[in-house]
Amino acid sequence: MEESLVPLVPMSHTAHIRSHRKPRRNASSIAMRAGVAGGVLSTVAVAGASTSAFAAEPVTQTLELPTLTADLATQAAQSADATQAMAADYQLQAERDAAAEEAAKQADKDLAKAKKEEARKKAAEEAERKAAAERASRDTERTTLTTNSSTTTTTAPATGSVGTVIGFLKAQLGDAYVLGAAGPNAWDCSSLVQAAFKQVGVDLPRVSQDQSMQGTEVSLSNLQVGDILYWGAKGSAYHVGVYVGNGQYLDAANPSKGVVIQDLSGYPATGAVRVL
């Protein structure tokens, strides 16, 4: 095969030496490069401005934060002060209400105490008035018995020693009944009868059973002033009294009544004895 021959072109004698001159650039290349450079600078400027803006924001917030924090602290302090003041007012009002309630209770107690004291005073005055009236009545009866003993009898005159017995008994009206007592202001039934007859020299036994066995047995339909009445069987009587006329008798009845005059119709006796 035959080889193709390329004709050789003679080279310049300076072709192998590099040129020290910069290659020449055309206008379009320069313009494009200038545009690119301008765009880059614009981008950098925008980025710089944006960065400055973003960088400035924290500075602005940092400057404003102390002001905002101070305002919030002031508001919180004011709110705390207001809450504390409200709590203090509430506590004060509660204390005032409690004091007023306590004062009202004390006033009620004082009023009740005053009323009770007034009632006690009135009761004492009434008791004293009644006691004075009873003493006056006793004195009148005693005087009447002394000057005119016939006024105390219905079936027989209460003369002499009988009048003395009846006078003594009536002088004890209103005294207390106390079992086992024997005067001068408290009696039981038999001690009162014994003391009354002792005024005229008659010595009676101390107890009811024995007193029912003294003197002469008499009928209840033929009683005389000064007869001793008894309740229960003769020799075992449980209560005694003295007949004072008009269907009545005087005795130390019981703790609730004391020494009183009562009607035989309300509490009929079992029997009677006469010792005077």
Q: Is 175 in the same domain as 270? A: yes
**147-201 tens-digit pLDDT:** 433 333 334 445 568 999 999 999 999 999 999 999 899 999 999 999 999 999 9
Of 114, 147, 180, which residue is a domain's last?
147
- Here the CATH number for the domain that contains residue 263 is 3.90.1720.10
For residue 217, the model assigns a pLDDT of: 96
**94-122 tens-digit pLDDT:** 888 888 888 888 988 888 888 877 876 77
Token pair of 113, please? 């105490």
Q: Which of 116, 212, 220, 226 is nearest to 166 (CA)?
A: 226
The domain of 53 spans 41-147
pTM above 0.85, yes or no: no
Q: Is 89 in the same domain as 66? A: yes
Q: What confidence tier does 88 reach under pLDDT thresholds 50, 70, 90?
A: confident
Whether the bond between 184 and the residue before it is cis, its omega within 30 degrees of 0, is: yes
For residue 104, the model assigns a pLDDT of: 86
Q: Is 5 within a domain?
A: no
Percentage of the chain with pLDDT > 70? 60
For residues 171 and 138, the answer to whether their CB atoms sit within 8 Å is: yes
State which amino acid sits at residue 81: D
Of 121, 147, 173, which residue is a domain's last?
147
Q: Is 182 in the same domain as 241? A: yes
CA distance 124 to 209: 39
In the chain, the number of structural domains is 2
